[in-house]
């Protein structure tokens, strides 16, 4: 049986130095991966550019001899085409509009320099096989990554604005960058009272990537080994695998063509750990449900990667979650880690005080600490229903963590 993966990336990339476009890069790269599956084994091969699929299949077939087990049932009888590539902008127009943003930021904030990248990416990804499977994901989106550096500061960057979107809202970007810079310039003392911490979900859910990995659970190496099926976290805390291509900027199928039933997306529901995340092989070997998390390069044997997880919100905005008090919104926290028993600690390099509507000012560097059983347990406050534009246009996690001055 044969499967083919085709990935075409067309990209225009603008390099920004000191508020000016210093370079324009264009690429158009096609990658093709071919798999041959026979008698419970798999062989793979891949190539760049215009390559002969027959030649790749022949190579893949030859590599069956290495004996890599793949005893899974292949996905079949499904045709799906996600087309999210309606954002159209010429390179010249993109340059002009980005220059407008950079020029206005410079006019408003001459003491700050903007650098790094704006990428416009067209993605066309297809997975197909001889069992009537053809899944296609097409998308076009813009990634803005602005490192903001104050003249005279000795660091590589001082603060940041980043965004992925399917449109370019110039004025909104300018206002958001201004809000970040104005807040950065307004250094406030650290409040004496312990405040809720507002942080990107991934910073604190990453332990689940390791310890709800199906291989870890299957091999009895997970922190949650003896807690599967038990209520471990707050009633209000759930964790689900998200697949909506509009939200994730990725396909809703995995590298094995799995789109699982909706209920299998729940890894944790109302505080109860339901299941680990898996691909077909891991599910089969350990007797778990397949949650469709096969990953890998276009030319790899599909294998269990990470899960794109999110904590669902309960309909409250950030301001409502803060309930009239300010919170500490963490923007840059580099160097933190979890201990094997679930304790988290991280220095926070840049954080802002916010009322849930606006950034009020910057607070000095500090350290955050907490246990996963507490910040997703009794200390869990919620996830904002509104997306916070100044912080990556993401829904932010609000919880309580120990905050210690450096």
Partner 1 sequence: MYKFPAGFYADVRIEKVFRSLVRIETGRLEEVKEKDDTGAFIRLFDGQRWFYASTTDLASIDFELAGLAKLGRADARINEHPAVRKMQVNTGDHCRFAQTSVSKVQLPEKITLTESFADLVKNDGQISHWSVSYSDAHIIKQFYSSLGASLKFDTQTAGLRLGFRFGSGANVFSETWCKALPEFKPLAGLHHEARELVEKAREFFTSAEKIQGGNYTVVLSPMAAGIFAHESFGHKSEADFMIGDEGMKKEWQLGKRVGSELLSIVDDGNLPGSGFTPFDDEGNRAEKTVLIGKGILRGRLHSAATAAELDEAATGNARSINFEYEPIVRMTATYIEPGNCSKEELIGSIDHGILIESVKHGSGMSTFTLAPSMAYLIENGKVTRPVKFSVITGNVMKTLDQIDAVSDRLEILSFVGGGCGKMEQYPLPVSFGGPYVRVREINVQ
201 lines the binding site for partner 1 (CB under 8 A): no
Nearer to partner 1, 330 or 381 (CB): 330
283 touches 297 (CB < 8 A): no
340 lines the binding site for partner 1 (CB under 8 A): yes
Q: Which of 316, 293, 306, 338 is nearest to 397 (CA)?
A: 316
Q: How far apart are CA 398 and CA 394, in angstroms?
A: 12
Nearer to partner 1, 6 or 15 (CB): 15
DSSP annotation string for 374-397: HHTTTTEEEEEEEEEGGGTTEEEE
**Cβ at position 356, least distance to partner 1 in Å:** 27
Q: Which of residues 140-169 bind partner 1 (CB under 8 A)?
A: 145, 149, 151-157
Number of residues that bind partner 1 (CB under 8 A): 68
Query: Dihedral of CA 288/238/402/394: which sign?
Result: positive
119 lines the binding site for partner 1 (CB under 8 A): yes
**Cβ at position 335, least distance to partner 1 in Å:** 3
17 lines the binding site for partner 1 (CB under 8 A): yes
Residue from 39, 54, 88, 226 in contact with partner 1 (CB under 8 A): 226
Residue from 5, 34, 36, 44 in contact with partner 1 (CB under 8 A): 44
Residue from 38, 55, 69, 378 in contact with partner 1 (CB under 8 A): 69
Total residues found in the chain within this entry: 406
**Cβ at position 210, least distance to partner 1 in Å:** 9
* Radius of gyration of the CA atoms of the chain, in A: 23
Measured in degrees and rounded to the nearest 5, phi and psi for residue 3 equal -130, 145
Q: Which residues contact residue 220 at a Cβ distance below 8 angstroms, ignoring those fewer than 6 apart?
A: none
Q: How far apart are CA 168 and CA 102, in angstroms?
A: 13
345 lines the binding site for partner 1 (CB under 8 A): yes
DSSP annotation string for 289-350: -----EE--TTSPPEE----EEPPP-S--HHHHHTTS-EEEEEE--S-EE-TTSEEEEEESE
343 lines the binding site for partner 1 (CB under 8 A): yes
Binding mask 239-268 toward partner 1 (x if CB under 8 A, else -) reads ------------------------------
Q: Which of 198, 197, 100, 115 is nearest to 161 (CA)?
A: 115
**Cβ at position 107, least distance to partner 1 in Å:** 17
Q: Which of residues 362-391 bind partner 1 (CB under 8 A)?
A: 365, 367
Nearer to partner 1, 56 or 359 (CB): 56
Q: How far apart are CA 117 and CA 17, in angstroms?
A: 9
Q: Which of 391, 380, 376, 389 is nearest to 206 (CA)?
A: 376
Measured in degrees and rounded to the nearest 5, phi and psi for residue 313 equal -90, 165
Binding mask 205-224 toward partner 1 (x if CB under 8 A, else -) reads ----------xx--xxxxx-
Nearer to partner 1, 398 or 403 (CB): 403
Place of tokens 């000012």: 361
Q: How far apart are CA 262 and CA 266, in angstroms?
A: 8
Nearer to partner 1, 117 or 172 (CB): 117
Binding site for partner 1 (CB under 8 A): 13, 15, 17-18, 21-30, 44-50, 63, 66-69, 113, 116-117, 119, 145, 149, 151-157, 215-216, 219-223, 225-226, 299-301, 303, 332, 334-337, 339-343, 345, 347, 349, 365, 367, 406
């Amino acid at each position: 049986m044969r499967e083919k993966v085709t990935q075409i990336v067309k990209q225009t990339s603008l390099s920004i130095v000191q508020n000016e476009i210093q370079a324009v890069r264009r690429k158009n790269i096609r990658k093709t991966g071919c798999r041959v599956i026979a008698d419970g084994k798999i062989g793979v091969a891949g190539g760049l550019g215009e390559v002969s699929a027959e030649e790749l299949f022949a190579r893949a077939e030859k590599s069956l001899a290495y004996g890599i087990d793949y005893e899974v049932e292949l996905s079949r009888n499904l045709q799906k085409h996600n087309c999210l590539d309606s954002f159209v902008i010429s390179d010249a127009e993109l340059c002009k509009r980005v220059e407008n943003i950079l020029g206005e930021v410079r006019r408003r904030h001459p003491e700050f320099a903007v650098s790094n990248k704006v990428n416009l990416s067209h993605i066309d990804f297809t997975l197909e096989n001889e069992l009537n499977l053809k899944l296609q994901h097409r998308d076009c989106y813009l990634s803005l990554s602005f490192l903001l550096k104050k003249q005279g500061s000795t660091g590589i960057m001082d603060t940041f604005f980043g965004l992925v979107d399917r449109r370019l809202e110039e004025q909104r970007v300018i206002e958001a960058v201004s809000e970040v810079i104005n807040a950065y310039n307004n250094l406030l003392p650290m409040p004496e009272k312990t405040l809720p911490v507002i942080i990107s979900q991934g910073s604190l859910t990453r332990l689940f990537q390791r310890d709800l990995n199906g291989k870890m659970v299957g091999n009895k190496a997970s922190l949650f080994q003896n807690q599967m099926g038990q209520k471990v976290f707050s009633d209000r805390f759930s964790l689900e695998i998200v697949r909506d291509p509009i939200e994730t900027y990725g396909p809703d199928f995995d590298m094995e063509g799995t789109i699982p039933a909706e209920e299998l997306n729940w890894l944790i529901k109302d505080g109860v750990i339901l299941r680990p995340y898996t691909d077909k092989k891991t599910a089969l070997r350990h007797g778990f449900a397949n949650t469709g998390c096969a990953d890998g390069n276009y030319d790899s044997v599909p294998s269990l990667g990470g899960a794109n997880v999110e904590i669902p919100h309960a309909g409250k905005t950030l301001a409502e979650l803060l309930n009239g008090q300010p919170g500490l919104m963490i923007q840059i926290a580099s160097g933190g880690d979890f201990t094997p028993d679930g304790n988290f600690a991280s220095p926070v390099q840049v954080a802002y005080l916010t009322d849930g509507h606006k950034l009020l000012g910057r607070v000095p560097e500090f350290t955050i600490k907490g246990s996963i059983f507490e910040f997703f347990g009794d200390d869990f406050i919620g996830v904002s229903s509104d997306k916070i534009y100044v912080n990556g246009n993401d829904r932010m996690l609000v919880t309580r963590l120990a905050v210690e001055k450096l």
